[in-house]
A and B are shown apart, each in its own frame.
Chain A
Amino acid sequence: MSGLRSIYAIAINTFREAVRDKVLYAFILFAIVVTLAGLLLGSLSVSQNVRILEDIGTFTISTIGGVIAIFIGTNLVYKELDKRTIYLIFTKPIFRWQFIVGKFLGLALCILIVTAMMGASLMLVSYLNGERNMVAMVESLGLTYLELLLVIAMATFFSTFSTPLMSVIFTLGLWLCGHLGQSLLALSKMSQDSSVKPLFEAVYYALPDLAKLTQIKFDLMSPLPHFAASSLITITAYVFAYIVLLLSFATFITERREFS
């Protein structure tokens, strides 16, 4: 129980730091402006205006959430090192994994609130425009949040050993490459060279397959009945496994690190 209390304390401290940071409000304001612009664009469309509105809205939530996750996440551990508050933390009876998990959960809570706020606005506007499949929308927003959790884990991992700027580049790179996973698999299947094929496959399995997640989101919102509920469970388990792996690596690095 004491372990959970330490994680809770670190998570709440991280959450407080994020919500009391003025940068976050700038992002939220920007998100509202972009969402409103998207809604305006959607309402101008003659047909399928709800679908366009939802696509733009979900894309905005994913992008803005991702930007917040990257910019705050890449500073999570680095800032503690830079400001030397880490000396105060690691001279208390807590394990390094508790610190990493606490940091991750604190930012995850912050992103959950931001996603929920933006998602609720999108759902309201969609409902007013005739959308009635709210369950699918909630599931789609849930998958968007799942992807953002993965981005937070990536940013946390990179922030344990690189500067914020490099962490931003690495996280953005991994996030974007994750969306190209299916293309890598297709390339591997098309490849005639037997030596290149395993390389493509190895890279595909090493990267998070976010293209699959995007496909499931698309299927969820599609009127065509080709969506299988089991794929929702599989992708959730897959993303959580990837998050656990990244946080384990982050813990491993932090445990070996000395604080001179």
Chain B
Amino acid sequence: MTERVIEATGLIKDHFSNFLRKPSRALHGINFSVDKGEVFGLLGPNGAGKTTTQKLLLGLLRPTEGSVTVLGHPAGHQKTLARIGFLPENPYFYSHLTADEFLDFFGNLFNVPDAALKQRSKQLLELVSLSDSGSKPIRKFSKGMLQRLGIAQALINDPDLIFLDEPNSGLDPVGRRDIRQIIMGLKQQGKTIFLNSHLLADVNELCDRIMILHRGRCVAEGAVKEISSSGNYRDLEQYFMEAVEKAETAYQEGTSTSKLESVTSAKEVT
């Protein structure tokens, strides 16, 4: 039986800009789950609610309604946080630290024993091709190096579940390929990965299942293999565009959108 790693039920999130204004609803009761060992892709146009969803899963935000369980505990629980890794989008790291100090800092927050931390930091810097830059100040790092250091940071505690928010953002083709290979390696190790990305080619290559959000609602979800083999779509991009455009048309016309439960029902979207 597959182990459920993430379970979100009836997730609603309202944002309050100030006390007087009416709250704006970022998520309208979404439901989804992620199983152990899966690479799950969260897709959607800007403002769809991807980052809000991810922050709810990480415990940085609290749901207005609904519930989130991550690794068997409520989101943000200390036991959950001890087993997850997170790479935020366009991360800013402590520029006053060197790469070694940076990994030490996060290793200490996870209470990784000193000897193991030293060894782990060395392995991770090798994995992300930064072995020669351990003593270099982070402020001298290029965008690609920062992103790779971010990946190393996200893996310092050998997590079971890894959240990656736009891991290929701003990288050149070589950098993108390297990050893709690292994610593939993690997948082969059986890690569960929650990927938030705009790059559909990467999603197609890496993800087992995807969910598409549009204006805070889930408008499509399905297994990537089924989408590819269904014959209904040229590629993932066409599937994505169709789902989003139909959802937008329905939104503009004020009609309700019916979620695409599977690829075969994709053409029935209104």
Interface residues of A (CB under 8 A from B): 2, 5-6, 8-10, 12-13, 16-17, 20-21, 83-85, 87-95, 258-260
Contact = CB atoms under 8 A, between A and B. Distances in A.
A92 B106 contact: yes
Contacts of B104: 9
Nearest to A102: B109
24 contacts: A6-B109, A9-B105, A10-B109, A12-B105, A13-B97, A13-B105, A20-B96, A21-B96, A84-B88, A85-B92, A87-B58, A88-B153, A91-B58, A91-B59, A91-B60, A91-B84, A91-B86, A91-B163, A93-B78, A93-B79, A94-B109, A258-B61, A259-B55, A259-B61
Contacts of B58: 87, 91
Given A5-B108, A93-B109, A93-B110, A88 B97 contact: no
Interface in B22-65: 52, 55, 58-62
A92 B110 contact: yes
B166 interface: no
Contacts of B250: none
Contacts of A91: 58-60, 81, 84, 86, 163
A84 B87 CA distance: 12
A30 B15 CA distance: 46
Interface of B: 15, 52, 55, 58-62, 78-79, 81-82, 84, 86, 88, 91-94, 96-97, 101, 104-106, 108-111, 153, 163
A83 B163 CA distance: 19
A17 B86 contact: no
B92 A84 contact: yes
The dominant DSSP class at the B interface is mixed
A2 B60 contact: no
A90 B106 contact: no
B106 A17 contact: no
A6 B108 contact: yes
Given A10-B109, A260-B55, A260-B60, 6 more contacts: A6-B108, A9-B108, A20-B96, A91-B59, A92-B110, A93-B78
Contacts of A16: 96-97, 101
Nearest to B51: A260
B110 A88 contact: no
Contact of A17 (B52, B84, B96, B153): B96
B57 to A, nearest CB: 10
B60 A13 contact: no
Contacts of B110: 92-93
A8 B109 CA distance: 9
B201 to A, nearest CB: 27
A6 B15 CA distance: 31
A87 B86 contact: yes
Nearest to A99: B109
Contacts of A85: 92-94
Contacts of B163: 91
A83 B88 CA distance: 12
A55 to B, nearest CB: 36
Contacts of B94: 13, 17, 85
A258 B63 CA distance: 10
A52 B86 CA distance: 57
Contacts of A260: 15, 52, 55, 60-61
Considering the complex of A and B, which 4 residue pairs feature the smallest CB-CB distances, nearest first? A9-B108, A2-B111, A92-B109, A93-B81
A89 B55 contact: no
A102 B255 CA distance: 52
Listed residue (B93, B104, B111) with the most chain A CB atoms within 10 angstroms of its CB: B111
A5 B113 CA distance: 10
Contacts of A9: 104-105, 108-109
Contact of B60 (A5, A12, A259): A259
A83 B62 CA distance: 21
A87 B109 contact: no
A83 to B, nearest CB: 4
